[in-house]
Structures are given as structure tokens and as C-alpha cells.
Amino acid sequence: MSLIFKITIYPFLYLISLFPFFILNVISFHFYVLVFYVLRYRKKVVLENLKNSFPNKSTNELNQISKKFYKHFCDLIIENIKLLSISNKKFMKYCYFTPQALQLFNHYHKQNTTIILALGHNGNWEWSLIAHQLNYKYNIVGIYHPLSNKNMDALISKLRNRGKVNLVTMQNSLRFLIGYKPQTKPGSIGLIADQTPPKESSFWLTFLNQDTPFFGGPEKMAKKFNLPVLFIAMRKVKRNTYELDAKLITDSPKETIEGEITKSYAMQLQELIIEQPEYWLWSHKRWKHKRNLNN
């Protein structure tokens, strides 16, 4: 973080974070009006993504999902600013794992087994990492793509870390895990696996009615280190409140055929998006690459 950012922007954001949620939500609504009606931030991208993903929905239905998405998107920004000052105890009231998820985690960690947690850009994915740290005593490795803005990247990294996380860039993940030796250290490796991968290293699937490239990273990592893979479903229970559930994809990755793990992850994520469409990141240019005939 640059010195100017630390003495200007950061204190301002911290001051905002001190407000209770009912005031922050009023701020979020006014921000929504600005983003949706005035700035019209990526409205064309959002509507195009929605239209292609839900071809059977009417224009009115798509517009309603779009508005709900932008309201949620503005809530996300406010919720993540709140991380600057919210206590761990209070945070756990707003974001928590189901008993079934914790039971599944414990099952593997009692066996001294590291698990791979595959997530999507739904709910408040930044909160999911923190929820894991606060609910669980085991280490977590968070694999991420750095932001181009170094000040914002440093701020987000600070917000993500409540003391027990190793943040590793996707580029350095394999090298880190070889040294980390996940087979000997019980913990979790968290990946958000629905970002757009480089075209040359994509695994293609039909996802939300479209040809969609996926990272093969979680699958390759699971097979290399023989680690169980769990899908983490983050649902918005009500405003500013999220529940995280876990479902096993496989605990025998080396016995799966190529693409099986990635496809299972994608299909479970698709079900979650269809269930709560307004809470996925529709502003992302997810389908900017086109599939080659030989893929």
C-alpha cells in the first residue's frame, strides 16, 4: 500500500466501516442508484450474460435479476469495507458454515488429510475465506489472482487475512504446494475456480447454456497430491448474511477420468446460480473467449 493511500483512502474507508449495517445499507442503496442509473457500470455486459444464460426468461425477468444483482454488488463493496473494523465474534453471526460442512471438514482433518475447497463468485466470496479462518483451527491456503491496482490488491489481502491464511498467487501455487507438502499438513486449499482462464489452457464445458472455458487447476492439483475436492456452496440467507455448505466432489481424484472433477464442480455451481441468480458475478466478462472447433 502506498503512503498516500494509507493516509488518505484507508482512514476514510475505516471510518465508513464503523457504521452499523443498517446505515451501511442505506449508503449501499445510494451507491446502487449511482452505479445502475447514472454510471450504468457494465450494464450491457450483465444483460448480455443474463440473456445468454437464461434464454427462456422474459426481458422483464432478466431486468429484475439485473437490478437485484447490482443491489447485491453494491452490498458486497460495503460488506467488504466493514471487514476493516468488524470483530470476529460479530462477523461469525453474518457468515457461517452449516454443521454438515464442518462435519465433513473434520472427517478429513481427523485423518490428517488436506482438502481442496472449490468455490465460485457467488454470495460474498471474500467472506468465505474469513469464515473458514474463524470457524476452523486448521491452516488454509488461499489461491488467488492479484488485482492490477497494487493499492487495492494490498487492501484486499489485508481484509482476507485474519491470521491463519497463506495467500498464494495462482502463478506460484504449484511451487508453493510442493514445498508446503499438503499430504503432511492438515488444512484447506481454497480456490475460486470460475474465472476466465487463458484460452490455451482451458477445459471447455457447456455451462449456463454456453460454451464456457474453465480452469483445470483444482483437478490437476487434486490428482497431483491425491487430495479430496469439496464444492463450497455459498448462499445468501438475507441481506448481509451468508451460509456456507460443503459437498464432496471426490475423495479419490486419481480414479476419476479427465475432466470429471471440473465438470462436477461446474454443474454444482450452475445449480447454485440457477437457485439464486442475482448473487453471481454477472459483471465479469466470463465468455470473452470462443471455443475452437478442435477443443
Instruction: State the average pLDDT for the chain.
Output: 90
**Per-residue pLDDT for 139 more than 60?**
yes
Report the alpha-carbon distance of residue 31 to residue 265 in Å, rounded: 33
User: What is the pLDDT averaged over residues 130-155?
Assistant: 82
Q: What does residue 283 show for φ and ψ, rounded to 5 degrees? A: -80, -10
All 3 cell numbers of residue 232? 463450497
Report the alpha-carbon distance of residue 54 to residue 240 in Å, rounded: 26
All 3 cell numbers of residue 170? 495462482
User: Collapsing DSSP states into helix, strand and coil, what is residue 264?
Assistant: helix
The confidence score (pLDDT) of residue 293 equals 64
All 3 cell numbers of residue 253? 481424484
Burial 228-240 (b: 16+ CB within 10 A, else e): bbbbbbbbbeeeb
- Of 43-52, 126-135, 148-157, 200-209, least confident by mean pLDDT is 148-157
- Of 76-80, 134-138, 207-211, least confident by mean pLDDT is 134-138
The confidence score (pLDDT) of residue 229 equals 96
User: What is the pLDDT averaged over residues 3-21?
Assistant: 91
**Per-residue pLDDT for 295 more than 60?**
no
> Is residue 228 within 8 Å of 250, Cβ to Cβ?
yes
All 3 cell numbers of residue 164? 491463519
The confidence score (pLDDT) of residue 183 equals 64
183 vs 24, which has greater pLDDT? 24
Model confidence band, residue 158 (pLDDT cutoffs 50, 70, 90): confident
pTM above 0.85, yes or no: yes
User: Collapsing DSSP states into helix, strand and coil, what is residue 179?
Assistant: helix
Condensed to tens digits (0 to 9), the pLDDT of residues 213-242 reads 998 888 988 999 899 999 999 999 999 999
Mean pLDDT highest for which of 2-11, 90-99, 124-133, 190-199?
A: 90-99
